[in-house]
Amino acid sequence: MAEIWYFIQNQILGMNWLNDLVAFLLTNMGVDASTRVGGSLQFFIYDVLKITLLLCLLIFIISYIQSYFPPERSKKILGRFHGLGANIAAALLGTVTPFCSCSSIPLFIGFTSAGLPIGVTFSFLISSPMVDLGSLVLLMSIFGTKVAVMYVILGLIIAIVGGALIERMHMEKYIEGFIMNAKHIDIEESTLSVKERIEYAQEQVSSTFKKVFPYILIGVGIGAIIHNWIPESWIETVLGSNNPFGVILATILGVPMYADIFGTIPVAEALLTKGALLGTVLAFMMAVTTLSLPSMIMLKKAMKPKLLVVFITICIVGIIIVGYIFNILHGFLII
């Protein structure tokens, strides 16, 4: 079993065969992968191809699953739960919804205007960009199963606790009136055929790929530079164990950026290989995907400043705590 899982981890998810193939082709083209330029080129080609292949496959699978959970049906499902169970259901629903924070906001507004409890909708809003099935598989391909599973579990905990806290604070009055007072119309749920679900998944692959691919190129490009050009000592000094504030710094740096999990993983991978601690790079990833500047601008239209500050604060504190937990377990998780 161990050998089978090792094969899955390294050859199917990690695509080591693809890395070897890229190295072979570059060598036959006269490019020396042991040099900085050659190593950067190999890193760039391999990671772009690997992430693109995984991206298209994952979006197709997740979109097919998502076709069974249109907004109206999702509202009905969430409406059946109460208390903490509703927060858990909302956080889990977030794992099969859009990959970036900006795409999650229209659903958040729709759920809120439909009358779902504010804490439930915030659990969804936190979970959707931070934790999804795609992030689980991608993290497994880079960091291994233990890291991926812990990342998802802790991300869900942030979403559940964050939503529950906002619910307990009774902050409904800080949602803009046009959302809270919106008239809700139930739309009869249509039943799609298998062919229609496949066509929907293919459309989602095409549209999402067009939006995400530029960020993949940017993320992999930054990762290639970090991997082959920035001295290891620099990364260790700023984000390594010698800096107890590395997690806080990484979180703050990640907040104003805009990317999704596919664009941030190559950067995190390069930082980790250069000596950054695991929790520090994962905190950076969480901050980028959950609290991007464009999404905060969009949310400002949907809620008043006090609630927006509470939401950002809860996310940042949760991300920092998770980062330090991963740093403590770095030696156990990274072998």
Count other Cβ atoms within 10 Å, centred on residue 231: 10
Strands (E), the chain: none
Among 16, 40, 15, residue whose Cα is nearest residue 26: 40
Q: Is residue 319 part of a domain?
A: yes
Taking a C-beta distance cutoff of 8 angstroms, is the pair 162, 316 a contact?
no
Q: Is residue 30 part of a domain?
A: no
**Alpha-carbon span 121 to 109, nearest angstrom:** 8
- HSE of 323, CA atoms in CB hemisphere, 13 A: 30
Q: Provide the domain count of the chain.
A: 1
Q: Is residue 205 part of a domain?
A: no
Helix, strand or coil, per DSSP, at residue 256:
coil
Q: Is residue 304 part of a domain?
A: yes
* Per-residue tens of pLDDT for the chain, all 335 residues: 667 766 776 777 778 888 889 989 998 998 888 888 888 899 899 888 988 888 788 778 877 877 877 766 777 777 777 788 889 988 988 887 655 556 677 778 878 877 788 899 899 888 887 887 777 777 887 788 888 889 889 999 999 999 999 999 988 888 887 776 655 544 445 577 888 889 988 988 888 788 778 878 887 888 888 877 777 677 777 777 778 898 998 888 887 666 666 777 788 888 888 888 889 988 988 888 788 777 787 788 888 889 999 999 999 999 999 999 999 988 787 75
Please report, to the nearest 10 degrees, the dihedral formed by the alpha carbons of residues 297, 301, 307, 310 taken in order: -10
Residues facing 303 on adjacent strands: 175
The DSSP secondary structure of 270-287, one letter per residue, reads HHHHTT--HHHHHHHHHH
Q: Is residue 199 part of a domain?
A: no
Q: Is residue 112 part of a domain?
A: yes
Among 55, 51, 68, residue whose Cα is nearest residue 14: 51
Domain that holds residue 100: 2-19+36-180+212-333
Radius of gyration of the chain (CA): 21
Scanning 229-304, the segments in alpha helix (DSSP H) are 232-239, 246-254, 261-273, 278-290, 293-302
The DSSP secondary structure of 97-159, one letter per residue, reads S-SSHHHHHHHHHHHHHTT--HHHHHHHHHHHHH--HHHHHHHHHHH-HHHHHHHHHHHHHHH
Q: Is residue 262 part of a domain?
A: yes
Which tokens in the block code for residue 161? 């606790």
Terminal-residue alpha carbon distance, the chain: 19
pLDDT at 98: 57
Count of residues making up the chain: 335
Angle, helices 118-130 vs 101-113, to 10°: value is 160
- HSE of 109, CA atoms in CB hemisphere, 13 A: 19
* Single-letter amino acid code for the residue at 246: G
pLDDT at 187: 45
Q: Is residue 29 part of a domain?
A: no
**Alpha-carbon span 22 to 19, nearest angstrom:** 5
Taking a C-beta distance cutoff of 8 angstroms, is the pair 117, 167 a contact?
yes
pLDDT at 123: 92
